[in-house]
C-alpha cells in the first residue's frame, strides 16, 4: 500500500495489568501482544511503521525489532493517546498519505479489517475514519456518539453520563487518518477530562468543527477489537486465540479429543492424522509431524517431533528433537538438545539432556543420559546413570553401536564404550571399554553361611 504509514501506540504501562512488565509484552497464546499487531500489518506492505514506546521502552524496542522492521519514538511522560501520537510528528515531516493508527493491545485484529478500513477511508475522502463495533458489553471502551446518523464525538467511559454509557457502539482505537490535517489538529487537543489526559478521540469533534469528513467502519466480528487491559481480558483473548488455533488444526486433519483443554500456541504446527489427547500444551515454535499420538499431561516447548511418534502421558519436552517412529514416556523428561533418533525408545522416568540416542536404541526405564552420544541398537538398562558432571565441568560419554549397558551402571565421564561391548549390571565404569569386550566393575559377591541364624541368637 503506497503512502500508507502505521503507528502503534505502546508507551503505556498498562496500570490495570498490575505488572512490572509493559503491557504489550505480556504473552497471549505464546507471543507478546505487540507481535500480533505487527503480524496483522505485515501483509499490507506499508511505507513505514513506527512504534511509540515509553514505559520500559527498551524492552519493547528489543521485542518489536526482533519481529519487524520498525522505527521507534519515545513518549515520556505518558500524557494520553493524542500526546503519544504527537511524539511521532517529526518522523512524518514531508510524508503524505494515510496513517493507520492502532494500539499494541488488540491481538485479534485482522489484516482484512485493516484493508477494509483504509479502502473505506480513501473512497470516502475522509480526514479520519474510526473502526467501531457494536457490543453487548461496552464497558471500558470509548462510546461513539452520533448526530443525525453521523459520528459526532467519542466519549470515554469515565467521562460519560449513565445515559451515554448505555451506548453499545464503541471505539476500537483503530483509525485511518490523513496526514495533512493531523498534527495541527492534535495540537488543539486539551486535557480537559476526568483523567487529565490528551485524548486522541477528541480528534473527532475537532474535525467535525473544522467541517472535515469523519467516517466510521463497523468491524464485522466484534471480537476482533477485543482490547487487553487486565489479566481477565488477557485470559479471554487467549481463549479466543486458542479456540481459533484448534479449529484451524482440526480443519487441517488433526484430531483434538477435547479442544477445551488443548493449549496450542499460535506458531505451533501439527501434521494431519495426529491425535492430541486431552490436557496437553504445545508451546513456542514446536513442530509436530503427521500421524503422531500425544497423550494427556504432555508439555512440549520449542521442539520438533517428526512423523509417527508416540509421546505417552506426562512427558516434559523442551528444545528437543524426536525422529520418526520413536516412542517417549510415560513420565520422560527430554531437555534441551535431546536428539532421539528413528524408532528409539525412551521409557518411564528417563531424563535426556544434550544427548543423541541413536536409531532403535532403548532406554526403557529410570535413567539419566546427559552430554552423550549413543549409537544405534544400544540397550541402556534400568537405572543407568551417566555421571557427566564432576562438580566443575561437564564431560562427554560415547556409547558405540550395539553396546549393552547392564542395569544400574554408572558411566563416569569422560568415557567411551566400544562397539558391541557389554557392561555388567551394577558396574561403575571409569575407563574406556574396548569394542566387543565385557566390563565388570563391581565388588564380587561373598556369602557368609549361617550368618542370619548367628545374628538372631541372644
Positions annotated as catalytic residues are 365
142 interacts with ligand UD1 by CB under 6 A = yes
From the list 17, 79, 177, 367, which residue makes contact with ligand UD1 (rule: CB under 6 A)? 79
For residue 364, what is its C-alpha cell?
526403557
Backbone phi, then psi, for 288, in 5-degree steps?
Answer: -115, 130
Show the site string, 82-121: x = touches Ca ion by CB under 5 A, - = not. -----------------------x----------------
Of 142 and 370, which CB lies nearer to Ca ion in the complex structure? 142
Of 109 and 423, which CB lies nearer to ligand UD1 in the complex structure? 109
Evaluated on CA atoms 315, 249, 64, 238, the torsion sign reads negative
**Residue in the shown chain whose Cβ atom is closest to Ca ion:** 227
Of 105 and 408, which CB lies nearer to Ca ion in the complex structure? 105
11 interacts with ligand UD1 by CB under 6 A = yes
Rounded least distance, CB 120 to ligand UD1, Å:
19
Helix axes of 111-124 and 33-41: crossing angle, nearest 10 degrees: 50
Alpha-carbon distance of 102 to 174, in angstroms, equals 5
Count of residues making up the chain: 458
Show the site string, 137-166: x = touches Ca ion by CB under 5 A, - = not. ------------------------------
Alpha-carbon distance of 8 to 24, in angstroms, equals 11
Longest pairwise C-alpha distance within the chain: 112
Q: Which stretch binds ligand UD1 (CB under 6 A): 4-12, 351-359, 368-376, 393-401?
A: 4-12
251: cis peptide before it, omega within 30°? no
From the list 4, 36, 51, 83, which residue makes contact with ligand UD1 (rule: CB under 6 A)? 83
- Answer for the pair 280, 303: CB distance below 8 angstroms, yes or no: no
151 interacts with ligand UD1 by CB under 6 A = no
75 interacts with ligand UD1 by CB under 6 A = yes
Of 4 and 75, which CB lies nearer to ligand UD1 in the complex structure? 75
77: cis peptide before it, omega within 30°? yes
The count of C-alpha atoms lying within 13 angstroms of the C-alpha of 401, restricted to the half-sphere facing its C-beta, is 2
Show the site string, 212-251: x = touches ligand UD1 by CB under 6 A, - = not. ---------------x-x----------------------
36 interacts with ligand UD1 by CB under 6 A = no
Of 52 and 338, which CB lies nearer to ligand UD1 in the complex structure? 52
108 interacts with ligand UD1 by CB under 6 A = no
Alpha-carbon distance of 107 to 174, in angstroms, equals 12
Of 55 and 404, which CB lies nearer to ligand UD1 in the complex structure? 55
Rounded least distance, CB 103 to Ca ion, Å:
6
Alpha-carbon distance of 77 to 136, in angstroms, equals 35
Of 24 and 151, which CB lies nearer to Ca ion in the complex structure? 24
- Answer for the pair 203, 215: CB distance below 8 angstroms, yes or no: no
201 binds, among ligand UD1, Ca ion, none (CB under 5 to 8 A by kind): ligand UD1
- Answer for the pair 404, 384: CB distance below 8 angstroms, yes or no: no
Alpha-carbon distance of 132 to 222, in angstroms, equals 9
Site size toward Ca ion, by CB under 5 A = 3
Alpha-carbon distance of 439 to 386, in angstroms, equals 16
Query: Exposed/middle/buried for 446, CB within 10 Å: 0-12, 13-18, 19+?
Result: exposed
Q: Which stretch binds Ca ion (CB under 5 A): 229-237, 342-350, 365-373, 415-423?
A: 229-237
32 interacts with ligand UD1 by CB under 6 A = no
182 interacts with ligand UD1 by CB under 6 A = no
141 interacts with ligand UD1 by CB under 6 A = yes
From the list 1, 6, 7, 9, which residue makes contact with ligand UD1 (rule: CB under 6 A)? 9
227 interacts with Ca ion by CB under 5 A = yes
Alpha-carbon distance of 180 to 176, in angstroms, equals 12
* CA 201 to chain CA centroid, nearest Å: 32
Alpha-carbon distance of 18 to 399, in angstroms, equals 52
Backbone phi, then psi, for 342, in 5-degree steps?
Answer: -45, 130
Of 8 and 423, which CB lies nearer to ligand UD1 in the complex structure? 8
Alpha-carbon distance of 209 to 372, in angstroms, equals 74
169 interacts with ligand UD1 by CB under 6 A = no
Site size toward ligand UD1, by CB under 6 A = 28
Q: Which residues bind ligand UD1 (CB under 6 A)?
A: 9-12, 52, 75, 78-81, 83-84, 103-105, 141-142, 154, 156, 170-173, 199-201, 227, 229
Q: Which residues bind Ca ion (CB under 5 A)?
A: 105, 227, 229
Amino acid at each position: 500500500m503506497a503512502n500508507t504509514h502505521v503507528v502503534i501506540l505502546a508507551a503505556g504501562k498498562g496500570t490495570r495489568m498490575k505488572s512490572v512488565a509493559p503491557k504489550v509484552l505480556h504473552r497471549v497464546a505464546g507471543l507478546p501482544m505487540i507481535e500480533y499487531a505487527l503480524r496483522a500489518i505485515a501483509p499490507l506492505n506499508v511505507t513505514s511503521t513506527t512504534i511509540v514506546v515509553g514505559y520500559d521502552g527498551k524492552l519493547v524496542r528489543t521485542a518489536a525489532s526482533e519481529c519487524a522492521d520498525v522505527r521507534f519514538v519515545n513518549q515520556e511522560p505518558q500524557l494520553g493517546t493524542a500526546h503519544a501520537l504527537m511524539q511521532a510528528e517529526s518522523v512524518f515531516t514531508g510524508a503524505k498519505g494515510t496513517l493507520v493508527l492502532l494500539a499494541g493491545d488488540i491481538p485479534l485484529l485482522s489484516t482484512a479489517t485493516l484493508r477494509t478500513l483504509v479502502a473505506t477511508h480513501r473512497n470516502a475522502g475522509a480526514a479520519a475514519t474510526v473502526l467501531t463495533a457494536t457490543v453487548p458489553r461496552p464497558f471500558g471502551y470509548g462510546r461513539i456518539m452520533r448526530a443525525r446518523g453521523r459520528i459526532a464525538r467519542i466519549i470515554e467511559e469515565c467521562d460519560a453520563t449513565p445515559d451515554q454509557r448505555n451506548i453499545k457502539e464503541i471505539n476500537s482505537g483503530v483509525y485511518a487518518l490523513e496526514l495533512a490535517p493531523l498534527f495541527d489538529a492534535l495540537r488543539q487537543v486539551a486535557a480537559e477530562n476526568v483523567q487529565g489526559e490528551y485524548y486522541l478521540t477528541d480528534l473527532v469533534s475537532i474535525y467535525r468543527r473544522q467541517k472535515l469528513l469523519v467516517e466510521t467502519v463497523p468491524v464485522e466480528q466484534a471480537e476482533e477489537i477485543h482490547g487487553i487491559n487486565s489479566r481477565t481480558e488477557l485470559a479471554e483473548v487467549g481463549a479466543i486465540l486458542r479456540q481459533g488455533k484448534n479449529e484451524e488444526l482440526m480443519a487441517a486433519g488433526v484430531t483434538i479429543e477435547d479442544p477445551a483443554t488443548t493449549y496450542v500456541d499460535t506458531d505451533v504446527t501439527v501434521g494431519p492424522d495426529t491425535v492430541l489427547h486431552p490436557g496437553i500444551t504445545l508451546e513456542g515454535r514446536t513442530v509436530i509431524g503427521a500421524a503422531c499420538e500425544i497423550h494427556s499431561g504432555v508439555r512440549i516447548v520449542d521442539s520438533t517431533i517428526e512423523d509417527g511418534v508416540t509421546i505417552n502421558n506426562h512427558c516434559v519436552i523442551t528444545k528437543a528433537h524426536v525422529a520418526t517412529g520413536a516412542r517417549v514416556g510415560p513420565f520422560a523428561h527430554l531437555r534441551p538438545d535431546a536428539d532421539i533418533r528413528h524408532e528409539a525408545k525412551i521409557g518411564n522416568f528417563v531424563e535426556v539432556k544434550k544427548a543423541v540416542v541413536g536409531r532403535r536404541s532403548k532406554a526403557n526405564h529410570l535413567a539419566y543420559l546427559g552430554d552423550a552420544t549413543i549409537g544405534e541398537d544400544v540397550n541402556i538398562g534400568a537405572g543407568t546413570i551417566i555421571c557427566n558432571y564432576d562438580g566443575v565441568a561437564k564431560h562427554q560419554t560415547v556409547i558405540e553401536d550395539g553396546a549393552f549397558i547392564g542395569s544400574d551402571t554408572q558411566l563416569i565421564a569422560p568415557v567411551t564404550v566400544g562397539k558391541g561391548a557389554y557392561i555388567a549390571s551394577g558396574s561403575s565404569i571409569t575407563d574406556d571399554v574396548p569394542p566387543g569386550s565385557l566390563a565388570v566393575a563391581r565388588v564380587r559377591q561373598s556369602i557368609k553361611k549361617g550368618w542370619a541364624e548367628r545374628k538372631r541368637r541372644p
